[in-house]
Structure formats: structure tokens, C-alpha cells
């Protein structure tokens, strides 16, 4: 086996097990919080880094919600939950956060300048052996490989929201990623219970966001352009058996990340509708402090969203017809 200098000696480690035990997650938001909690639950030692103490406090509060979910839905017991908490630590000091990391997963906002800045800041302080992965939804590892200062130790590892149930992780290389990096990162994914999905070529949006982002954008277009009420967009998706629609999913993704993705790609692609959709989300939600599930309100109000209540998909009483017709025709 040939190794780059960064990996010398690693071939002696036991195969079929990564040497990635100490994880640092950058960004304690929706996905960073989930990756951190789940990895700790699976036995990794995890440091969570964010730029403000408030963000870390919000992450800790979210972890208490995850504890309930893992107890009730994942089959965890109290001992495992206590051990998960023990394996987690939190800091706003970047050098402290990454100083002992075997793997850093970056989950900062989907804004290229913010990601590039974090990678550049980190490049001088990372231990030589540390691998780095981006959890970006739509950006490429090659966009940031030079900023990391260690392109051969960098790839994408992309998780799904609701990590305990959406247990897949997409692995994507750029042209300079070393084989050993991909081996270790893929082993890590399996160790924390993720089905690895190899993305065979660099692709914005990987596999899942190649269809998921267009779905959310199409749903948002119907609302932005006044074609349909949000709950009716979701009804059309849910009738027939699905438990959540695209606008409920947008609340889960979070309005900030939804906005970041649509604003970036609207601008990049010169797509006026996507830009209008981003502007709608900003005005209707972000400017009012409504971030979706993270703030308990977006298209729906949580923890008891209308789409999950009995009756949401039921055949209505015929007495609703005058109201529906009034929506259809203002004349």
C-alpha cells in the first residue's frame, strides 16, 4: 500500500476500523448539533465549536430534545444517554476545539465565504494527522480544498437531517483527496451507523440534494407566486401516505439554510425565481425571527404542526366550498 507522508504509519492500524476517535464539529446549528450528538452516542469523543456561547447553549438545549428522541425512538437507555453527554464538550475557542481532533466535520452556514474563512483559520492550527470533511449541502470539496491547506486529507461527508433515522452519509472526493482519507472517513461513517453513499464524481448537491433542493424550490415557487397555500402544497405531497410535505421539510432544514442555498444558487445560476424565493423566505420568516423548527415556527408552529394533526388530509365537509371558491376567483 502506498501512503502520503501524512498517513505514514496508519497502515499498521487495525483494518476495518478507522483511527478517527476524536471528532470536532464546527457549527453547532441544525446539522452540526445532530452530527455531534449522534457521533457521541455512537462512542466518539466530540468537541462542538461555534462562534458564540449562545449558539452553544442552543445546541445543548437541542441535545436534550435529542436525548428524548433517542430514548423513545432509537431504543437508547439512560446509561447510554448519560455516556453520550459525557463524551460531548463545547467551546468557542477554535484552537482548543481542533487541537486534538482526528476528524473535523465542518457544518457552518452554507455561505462560501464563511466556510473558506473557517478553513483558512483552521489550517495553521490543525494537528498534522487531522482529516477534514465538509457537510455542505450544495458546495463542492474542490471549492475549499486549497483553503484547508491539506487537500489530500479533505473530502465531503454529507449527512441527512434527522440523522438517527436518515442514516446515510454521502462521501465525495475532490481530485486531490487521498484514498486513505476516503477509507477512514467511510469507515467512520459506518462506525456511527451511517449507510455510506459514494458519490462517484463531484456534484453540487451530491445525490440527495440534486433532487431535494429542486423539490423544496418548486414548492416554494408555488407559494412565492401565490399559486397555492403552503398547507395545500404539502397536502398534495402527503395524500397517499407520506408523513411530511416539502414545506414541513423546509421548516426542518431551517429557514436560514434554506435561504442561504436559494440565495447562493439563485445568484450563481442567474435564476430569478430562485432569488425571488430566497427573498420571500427572508421577508416572511428570517426578518421576523422565524427560523422554522429551530425557533418553533416557520410554515408551521411546533411542537404540534398542523400537518401532523388528525384531519389534515381528511376529506373536508362540503360546507367549505364557498371559502375555497372565494380563494379561486376574486370576481
Ligand X SMILES: NC(=O)c1ccc[n+]([C@@H]2O[C@H](COP(=O)([O-])OP(=O)(O)OC[C@H]3O[C@@H](n4cnc5c(N)ncnc54)[C@H](O)[C@@H]3O)[C@@H](O)[C@H]2O)c1
d(CA 248, CA 166): 16
- Here's the x/- map for ligand X, 32-61, by CB under 6 A: it reads as x-----------------xx---x------
Choosing from 36, 47, 67, 108, the residue that interacts with ligand X (CB under 6 A) is: 108
CB of 159 vs ligand X, minimal distance in Å: 6
266 is a site residue for ligand X (CB under 6 A): no
Binding region for ligand X (CB under 6 A) out of 14-22, 110-118, 146-154, 197-205: 110-118
Choosing from 28, 48, 157, 163, the residue that interacts with ligand X (CB under 6 A) is: 28
Choosing from 7, 20, 25, 29, the residue that interacts with ligand X (CB under 6 A) is: 29
Q: What residues between 153 and 192 interact with ligand X by CB under 6 A?
A: 159, 161
CB of 114 vs ligand X, minimal distance in Å: 5
109 is a site residue for ligand X (CB under 6 A): yes
Choosing from 253, 274, 278, 290, the residue that interacts with ligand X (CB under 6 A) is: 253
Choosing from 107, 122, 171, 178, the residue that interacts with ligand X (CB under 6 A) is: 107
CB of 51 vs ligand X, minimal distance in Å: 5
Binding region for ligand X (CB under 6 A) out of 2-10, 129-137, 223-231, 305-313: 129-137
251 is a site residue for ligand X (CB under 6 A): no
3-state secondary structure the chain: CCCCHHHCCHHHCCCCCCCCCEEEEECCCHHHHHHHHHHHHCCCEEEEECCCHHHHHHHHHHHHHHHHHHHHHHCCCHHHHHHHHHCEEEECCHHHHHCCCCEEEECCCCCHHHHHHHHHHHHCCCCCCCEEEECCCCCCHHHHHHHHCCHHHEEEEEECCCCCCCCEEEEECCCCCCHHHHHHHHHHHHHCCCEEEEECCCCCCCCHHHHHHHHHHHHHHHHHCCCCCHHHHHHHHHCCCCCCCHHHHHHHHCHHHHHHHHHHHHHHHCCHHHHHHHHHHHHHCHHHCCCEHHHCECCCECCCCHHHCCCCCCCCCHHHHHHHHHHHCCC
213 is a site residue for ligand X (CB under 6 A): no
Choosing from 62, 103, 110, 297, the residue that interacts with ligand X (CB under 6 A) is: 110
User: Under the rule (CB under 6 A), what is the footprint of ligand X?
Assistant: 26-32, 50-51, 55, 107-110, 114, 118, 135-137, 159, 161, 253-254, 256-257
Amino acid at each position: 500500500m502506498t501512503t502520503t507522508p501524512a498517513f505514514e504509519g496508519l497502515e499498521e492500524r487495525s483494518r476495518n476500523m478507522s483511527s478517527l476517535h476524536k471528532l470536532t464539529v464546527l457549527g453547532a446549528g441544525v446539522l452540526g448539533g445532530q452530527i455531534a450528538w449522534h457521533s457521541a452516542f455512537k462512542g466518539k469523543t466530540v468537541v462542538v465549536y461555534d462562534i458564540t456561547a449562545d449558539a452553544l447553549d442552543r445546541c445543548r438545549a437541542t441535545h436534550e430534545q435529542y436525548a428524548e428522541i433517542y430514548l423513545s425512538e432509537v431504543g437508547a437507555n439512560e446509561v447510554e444517554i448519560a455516556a453520550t453527554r459525557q463524551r460531548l464538550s463545547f467551546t468557542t475557542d477554535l484552537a482548543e476545539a481542533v487541537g486534538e481532533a482526528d476528524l473535523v466535520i465542518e457544518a457552518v452556514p452554507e455561505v462560501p465565504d464563511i466556510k473558506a474563512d473557517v478553513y483558512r483559520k483552521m489550517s495553521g492550527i490543525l494537528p498534522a494527522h487531522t482529516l477534514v470533511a465538509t457537510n455542505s449541502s450544495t458546495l463542492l470539496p474542490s471549492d475549499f480544498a486549497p483553503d484547508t491547506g491539506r487537500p489530500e486529507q479533505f473530502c465531503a461527508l454529507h449527512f441527512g437531517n434527522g440523522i438517527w433515522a436518515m442514516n446515510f452519509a454521502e462521501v465525495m472526493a475532490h481530485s486531490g483527496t487521498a484514498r486513505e482519507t476516503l477509507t477512514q472517513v467511510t469507515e467512520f461513517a459506518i462506525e456511527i451507523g451511517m449507510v455510506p453513499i459514494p458519490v462517484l464524481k463531484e456534484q453540487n448537491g451530491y445525490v440527495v440534494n440534486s433532487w431535494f433542493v429542486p423539490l423544496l424550490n418548486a414548492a416554494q415557487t408555488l407559494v412565492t407566486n401565490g399559486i397555492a397555500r403552503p398547507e395545500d402544497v404539502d397536502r398534495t405531497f402527503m395524500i397517499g401516505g407520506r408523513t411530511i410535505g416539502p414545506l414541513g421539510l423546509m421548516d426542518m432544514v431551517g429557514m436560514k439554510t434554506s435561504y442561504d442555498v436559494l440565495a447562493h444558487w439563485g445568484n450563481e445560476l442567474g435564476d430569478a425565481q430562485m432569488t425571488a424565493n430566497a427573498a420571500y423566505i427572508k421577508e416572511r420568516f428570517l426578518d421576523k425571527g422565524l427560523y422554522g423548527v429551530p425557533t418553533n415556527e416557520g410554515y408551521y408552529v411546533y411542537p404540534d404542526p398542523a400537518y401532523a394533526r388528525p384531519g389534515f388530509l381528511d376529506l373536508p365537509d362540503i360546507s367549505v366550498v364557498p371559502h375555497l371558491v372565494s380563494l379561486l376567483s376574486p370576481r
